[in-house]
Structure 1
Amino acid sequence: MAGTAEHDAMRRALANALRGPRGVNPQVGAVLLSPDGEIIAEGWHRGAGTPHAEVDALSQLAPGAARGATAIVTLEPCNHTGRTGPCSEALIAAGVTRVVYAIADPGDHSSGGGTRLRAAGVDVEAGVLAEEATALLDSWLTVQRLGRPHVTVKWAQSLDGRAAASDGTSQWITGPTARSDVHRRRAQADAIVAGTGTVLADDPALTARDDAGSLLPHQPVPVVIGTRPVPDGAALRRHPHAFLQYPGDPASGGLAAALEDLRRRGVQRVFVEGGPTVAASFLRERLADELLVYVAPVLLGGERLALHDIGVTTIGEAQRLAVASVTPLGDDLLFVAHPTPDLAGAGAPRAERGRVGTPSSEGDE
């Protein structure tokens, strides 16, 4: 059973993982402990084609210095040869006697490192700080398990569930603190999605900006769902990235097809905030992994609901959610929730393992 020193080392490994770039490969961190529990080396995956986190940590030591050590890793050591060799074999060769990892590698070709290590006589423990590691790798894990990007659906609403006043005005329901939080989250996404109705009605820029209105360094690719053309003078056409447009026809699985194309383009994290119709479409097709609902203490009344029909006709069909957090943002509240396990990913078939178009372990491409 992992002790305090190993839990502390896993927290440090998670921090190390964040030092690596976020992309099609997972962010992974590692820490090596001496037999008496002291940190002797650290590592992280620094990008495609570079040594994996465990090997990066081992490279900090002289030959033989890792003998008897414990390796703490945020993701199960890989068991395959891609552009780099299998980390399980590297740990065995280095004389590591115990390996602790947070979550199992879901890849078909890269998984099995824990089994290989045990077969070589290495003591292996899995699941230490698994929740924290899962949160770190949520988008990568979604791609591996479901074959599509991780989808966050966001909307802002009044306390009575409206997205706009009766005349259609909606700026601003929430306050500046909540809006700043939205832009920060936009900048963490690879793509931002809006429907043509929102594009035509509100002319959004779909950019991520700081409090002064300047563009943040990372900008998500804008995506439009719907068949109506984007006007020549639309703010969207001045976005740093050219926008992508998909018809999104639910009758032909349009959203799933759009997500599949985005995955092929290297998109792992999608941020949906393009109006009540598009938000409802993702929920109706069970394609949402995370919900961000910003609630302002105002009452608007009227028919401008924040969410349109999601296919629920009776209480037994209600989409149940697990609330992860409720955070005050100025006068507003942010609810972060996730579909319960029986609903997660129900709208899209799970990809066959080994056929997902994204590498299944760090450094594969």
Structure 2
Amino acid sequence: MIAAGATALEVDAMRRALELAAHGPAKGVNPRVGCVILSPEGDVIAEGWHRGAGTAHAEVDALSRLAPGDARGATAVVTLEPCNHLGRTGPCAVALIEAGVARVVYAVADPGDHSSGGADRLRAAGVSVEAGVLEDEAEAFLADWLFAARTGRPHVTVKWASSLDGRVAAADGSSRWITGPAARVDVHRRRALADAIAVGTGTVLADDPSLTARDDDGDLLPSQPVPVVFGRRPVPDGARLAAHPHDAVLLTGEDLAADLAALARRGIRSVFVEGGPTLATSFLAAGLVDELLVYLAPVLIGGPRLAVGDLGVPAIADAHRLELAAVERLGDDLLVIAHPVVPGRAPRAATPDTTTPPEGN
């Protein structure tokens, strides 16, 4: 979306600001933000972006490249509403006012309880403000951070691999490999896209997973999810998790909403739940699942080892309804991507991949 009050130069500057924002860290508690400062004549006189927690915000970074007074009468074009709170750094709204900026154009409103309000503060100081410029593009770019900021928890994807009859293991407990190589490659690629990968202690004790993202040769991919283990049973000292590039986060799982909030405070924006039927069922029953990835193999197993346990559904009318977002063929297997139905919300497409890095343990 392009706001009606924005000029062509401001729209171009916003596209550049989004490019600058991409230089910032994609993970952590802070958003990736870019800023372009235009002279009163419309020329670019400074650019900046946020480099991570504790560093200058994009607006201040851009202003720092100008001599005192050079920003007077200028326009600041920024991907996120300038903040209005004092944290590790000062309020960006105040920095822009003090620099003499005459106009601020931004894409997405800041959803933070403490950091929002920058636009109102700017207007109160006599600064012209235009909101919503390239809002759709900025929303997509900041999707994971905005989700965590708006909900107070990470985006949760639950994944399982099963037979066509919904079994995740044979009677003896064996499950390697229900799906084929192409499906397993896809899982590892998606693991690398997530901030964290979660299992229960039962899976750790039974399977001793490494919870890493690996390529076809078994080598670690550049981006690794933080391992999260839910449950009260201790993780054995010699578990393969000990060799993971990141220290495991241990949570009780007794209050999943509180546990997810704790992960969000650590800067974890997305969680990939792979932890077996018990953990998947717990997340589904708690209404804390945002996306389902179901890898279906053309095999029949039978028996009791179902992908999902009791969800407390007494009648078909009470079934958990899903939006089917996509179906992909991966070798001989199918990947079904679905989202829980949320009343009043338009159907969503599958979550887009935002990087290009690539069932197994």
Report the TM-score when normalising by structure 1. 0.77
1:235 Cα deviation after fit = 2.7
| Alignment partner, residue 209 of structure 2 | 204
- Root mean square deviation, CA, Å: 3.3
Which of 120, 129, 136 is the matching residue for 1:124?
129
Call closer, same or farther: CA 1:120–1:230 in 2, change over 3 Å: closer
| Alignment partner, residue 70 of structure 1 | 75
Distance (whole Å) between structure 1 residues aligned to residue 338 and residue 39 of structure 2: 40
Contact 2:30-2:267 within 8 A present in 1 as well: no
Deviations 1:75-107 (A, max 9, x none): 110112323222122223344343222222122
Equivalent residues in 2 for 1:1-365, closer than 5 Å:
1=4, 2=6, 5-21=9-25, 22-34=27-39, 38-165=43-170, 168-231=173-236, 233-249=238-254, 254-263=255-264, 265-288=266-289, 290-296=290-296, 298-303=298-303, 304-322=305-323, 329=330, 332-342=333-343
Contact 2:165-2:302 within 8 A present in 1 as well: no
Distance (whole Å) between structure 1 residues aligned to residue 212 and residue 204 of structure 2: 13
Distance (whole Å) between structure 1 residues aligned to residue 44 and residue 164 of structure 2: 50
Call closer, same or farther: CA 1:171–1:342 in 2, change over 3 Å: same
5+ long unaligned stretches in structure 1: 345-365
Call closer, same or farther: CA 1:266–1:95 in 2, change over 3 Å: closer
- The one-letter code of the counterpart of 2:298 is V
Q: In structure 1, the residue corresponding to 2:60 is in which secondary structure?
A: helix
Q: In structure 1, the residue corresponding to 2:300 is in which secondary structure?
A: coil
Distance (whole Å) between structure 2 residues aligned to residue 39 and residue 331 of structure 1: 53
Distance (whole Å) between structure 2 residues aligned to residue 68 and residue 326 of structure 1: 52
Q: In structure 2, the residue corresponding to 1:305 is in which secondary structure?
A: coil
Q: In structure 2, the residue corresponding to 1:155 is in which secondary structure?
A: strand
5+ long unaligned stretches in structure 2: 346-361
Deviations 1:299-358 (A, max 9, x none): 4252443333333333443444455555555555545444445599xxxxxxxxxxxxxx
Call closer, same or farther: CA 1:243–1:86 in 2, change over 3 Å: closer
Q: In structure 2, the residue corresponding to 1:307 is in which secondary structure?
A: coil
Distance (whole Å) between structure 2 residues aligned to residue 98 and residue 325 of structure 1: 43
The higher relative CO (CA closer than 8 Å, separation ≥ 6) is in: 1
Contact 1:280-1:308 within 8 A present in 2 as well: yes
1:35 Cα deviation after fit = 5.2
Report the TM-score when normalising by structure 2. 0.78
Contact 1:293-1:335 within 8 A present in 2 as well: yes
* Sequence identity (%): 68
- The one-letter code of the counterpart of 1:10 is M
- The one-letter code of the counterpart of 2:63 is L
Q: In structure 2, the residue corresponding to 1:215 is in which secondary structure?
A: coil
- The one-letter code of the counterpart of 1:248 is G
Distance (whole Å) between structure 1 residues aligned to residue 344 and residue 170 of structure 2: 32
- The one-letter code of the counterpart of 1:243 is A
